[in-house]
Amino acid sequence: MTPVGEKIKVGYVLTVFPKLSETFVLNEILELERQGVAVEILSLKPPTDSRFHGGLSRLRAEVTYLPSSDSVKIWRTIQDEYRSLDIHPTAAGTAFLHALRSSNAGEWKHLLQALHVVSAVRSRGIDHLHAHFAASATLVAMLAQMLSDVSFSFTAHAKDIYHHTADQELLADALERATFAVTVTDHNVARLEECAPLAGSKIHRIYNGIPLEKCLPTPEPSSDPPLILSVGRLVEKKGFPYLVEACRLLKDQGHHFRCTIIGTGREQNELNTLIERLELGDTVSLMGAQSQEAVMETIKQSSLMILPCIIGEDGNRDALPTVLLEAMALGRSVVSTDLPGVTEIVDDGETGLLVPQRDSVSLARAVGQLLTDSDLRKAFGQAGRKKAERLFSLSRNVAKLKGLFEDAVARDERVAAHGEREVV
């Protein structure tokens, strides 16, 4: 129980921490700490990428990497961990039966990790658990909730909702068991309500935020040729081949520009081949992955931010692309597609331009319009900044999340005081 006047402590259960592509998680934790929430990070896996964002240097949270084990050793390890903790037999049975429902040995690994989370909750005074993505991290947090009296919540994003491999049974189960759930767009809220209709009152839309005080608008540079920028992992859902094709059309129309794509991924070879085939080697550059700080500096040197995202063949898609929020906060005009979620960021004809997905011709037309109209670029950039201030402030949006954490902990304390907790 949290003593009166003391800040709450939230355990963040994450699949991998830190992860270069998940700037929104790091930003969220840093802002929670700034607002007085103590955070402990419980990561299922260590990072495999040595490139990290500079913001990590400001992180106060302790990071614990949860143990993993092969199938031969895992049962004995679970027995040892169980004996070391005072877990109610009914709670243990609930969690064990949940794990038994799957023939996947990975489920036992998650049960072992959940036992370690319970140990951390009890030894470190963690008041509440929160996971990002309705997959392994949420499963571990949910199993920990079954094994103890700690409450949990999670944030659902996109791949964990729409990808053809998304675990819909886990999603529905987590929505029913969680104290609350967060997702990042209104479109996602509607999808989650379909998945678990009785859990609708628990679902909260909180947009990912941007630290606006660190993303002040800057004048567009007078570079010649102007820089078109795109940022994202080189995967199908980002739609980068359509941007490359649009660049060829723009060059054929006589436009003078440079295009830089920041990111890395499995489609890098295919994109390089396409750039070479379309004879764009002197115009389009793949710059690899970069830190958040480096990306922000490149946005400042750009004239336009383009993100031609699509719904992939596997159902995967972007929900609320952070790079569009960053570009708008910095006063840059943006061009993207009519993807649900993106339409909650970009107001077509007001803060930027939206085109149909998988349409290189329409994309080239929109980019060409902005390349030739600096006044329109400036107007979109100013309107985009105002919308970022209105809807995508990191401090205000994280304050909403903090309020949900505080309400959950307060409810747990009331229940504990009256002895009303039920084992579910």
Q: Is the pTM here over 0.85, yes or no?
A: yes
The per-residue pLDDT for 31 is 97
Whether pLDDT at 52 is above 80: no
Which of 171, 179, 170 is CA-nearest to residue 150? 179
How many CB atoms lie under 10 A from the CB of residue 389? 14
d(CA 177, CA 36): 27
Whether pLDDT at 120 is above 80: yes
Secondary structure (H, E, C), 372-391: CCHHHHHHHHHHHHHHHHHH
- Strands in 275-355 per DSSP E: 284-286, 304-307, 333-337, 352-355
Mean pLDDT of 352-370: 98
Q: Which two tokens stand for residue 420?
A: 């009303």
Whether pLDDT at 4 is above 50: no
- Name the average pLDDT for the chain: 90
Mean pLDDT of 22-36: 95
Taking only the tens place, the pLDDT of each residue in 304-319 is 999 999 999 999 999 9
The per-residue pLDDT for 112 is 84
Give Rg (Cα) of the chain: 23
Q: Which two tokens stand for residue 317?
A: 């898609």
The per-residue pLDDT for 350 is 97
**CA-CA distances (angstroms) from residue 208 to 111, 347, 408?**
30, 17, 21
Whether pLDDT at 192 is above 70: yes
d(CA 9, CA 126): 5
Q: How far apart are the first and last CA of the chain?
A: 20
The per-residue pLDDT for 50 is 64
Dihedral sign, Cα of residue 41, residue 45, residue 46, residue 52: negative
Taking only the tens place, the pLDDT of each residue in 258-270 is 999 999 999 999 9
Please check whether residue 257 is in contact with residue 227, taking contact to mean a CB–CB distance below 8 angstroms: yes
What residue has token string 């950039």? 381
The per-residue pLDDT for 53 is 62
Q: Which two tokens stand for residue 244?
A: 């490359």
Dihedral sign, Cα of residue 186, residue 158, residue 36, residue 149: positive
The per-residue pLDDT for 414 is 81
Q: Which of 78-87, 113-122, 253-262, 321-330 has the lowest mean pLDDT?
A: 78-87
Ordered structural domains, the chain, with CATH: 9-209+393-418 (3.40.50.2000), 214-391 (3.40.50.2000)
d(CA 142, CA 123): 19
The per-residue pLDDT for 82 is 62
Three-state DSSP state, 155: strand
Whether pLDDT at 89 is above 90: no
